[in-house]
Amino acid sequence: MASTISAFNISTIAILIFFMPIHVTCKQKHEFVKEINKEALELREEKLSHFRFFWHDIGTGIHPTSVTVVKPLPKFRNGFGFVNMIDNPVTIESELSSKLVARAQGFYASASQAELALLMIMNFVFVEGKYNGSTITLLGRNPVFHKVREMPVIGGSGLLRFARGYAQARTHSFNLKTGEATVEYNIYVTHY
Ligand SMILES: *[C@@H]1O[C@H](CO)[C@@H](O)[C@H](O)[C@H]1NC(C)=O
C-alpha cells in the first residue's frame, strides 16, 4: 500500500515538472505584441518620393466637391467653427480638365479665432498608375492666406504603407466668383 502511494506521488511530481514548461510556453503565445523582422512584412528598401499635383476645392455649381456641413459660429466674425466635407478632384496639371490622379477625401475646419487657419484632415486616394488604390493621410494646420503652408503626412496605405513626411500647399488660383480654389501640393514622403 505504502509503495503504491509513493509511486503515485512520484508520478504526480513527474507530471507537474513535465507540464510546467508547456504552461510557460502557452503564456507567451497569448501575449499580443512581439517584435518581428521587416522581411515578415516584405518591407524592403525605404524610398523617398515627391508627389506634385493640383487640388481643386469646388464649393459651387451643380457638382460641388466641397460642402459646408457645419456653419460658422455667428459669435466669431472670421468663420471660426465651420466644417467642410470634401471629395475634391486632384489633377496632374492646374487645369481641372487635366488628368485626374487622385481624390482628396476628408474635411477641413476653421480652427483659429485669430485668422483663417484650417485644420485639414484628408486622405489622398490615388486613382492612377502604380499608386492606384494606395492612400496618403495628411493632418495639419493650413493658414490659407500664407504663401506656403506646411502640413505633416502622418501615414499611408497600400504601396504607401509607413508613409511619413510633409506637404507644402501653395494657392495657385482662387476664383472669387465661383469660390473655386486651386492649390498646388508638393508632398515629400518616405515609404516602402
Ligand atoms: C484603378 O483601380 C481600380 C480598382 O481596382 C480600377 O477599376 C481602375 O481601372 C484602375 N485605374 C487605372 C487607371 O488603372
Give the domains, in start order, of the chain with CATH numbers: 38-191 (2.40.480.10)
Backbone angles phi, psi at 110, to 5 degrees: -75, 115
Query: What number does the ligand 1 atom closest to the CA of 133 have?
Result: 2
Distance 126 CA to ligand 1 centre (A): 9
The pTM (predicted TM-score) of the whole model is: 0.83
The Cα 65–Cα 85 span in angstroms is: 8
End-to-end CA distance of the chain: 71
Q: Which residues of 45-81 are buried (b: 16+ CB within 10 A; e: fewer)?
A: eeeeeebebbbbbbeeeeebbbeeeeeeeeeeeeebb
* Closest C-alpha residue for ligand 1 atom 7: 127
The Cα 117–Cα 167 span in angstroms is: 16
Contact 162, 45 (CB under 8 A): no
Q: Where are the alpha helices (DSSP H) in the chain?
A: 2-29
Distance 151 CA to ligand 1 centre (A): 28
Q: What is the pLDDT along the chain (192 residues), one digit of tens a residue?
A: 445 555 556 565 555 555 555 555 555 567 899 999 988 888 888 999 999 999 999 999 889 999 999 999 999 888 999 999 999 999 999 999 999 999 999 999 999 999 999 999 999 999 999 999 999 999 999 999 999 999 999 999 999 999 999 999 999 999 888 778 999 999 999 998
Pocket of ligand 1 (CB under 6 A): 127-128, 132-133
Contact 156, 133 (CB under 8 A): no
Distance 162 CA to ligand 1 centre (A): 23
* Closest C-alpha residue for ligand 1 atom 13: 128
Q: Among 92, 131, 132, 159, which is best to mutate for testing ligand 1, by the most ligand atoms less than 8 A from CB?
A: 132
Q: How many residues are given for the chain?
A: 192
The Cα 120–Cα 69 span in angstroms is: 15
Taking Cα atoms as reference points, which of 147, 153, 103, 143 lies closest to residue 119?
143
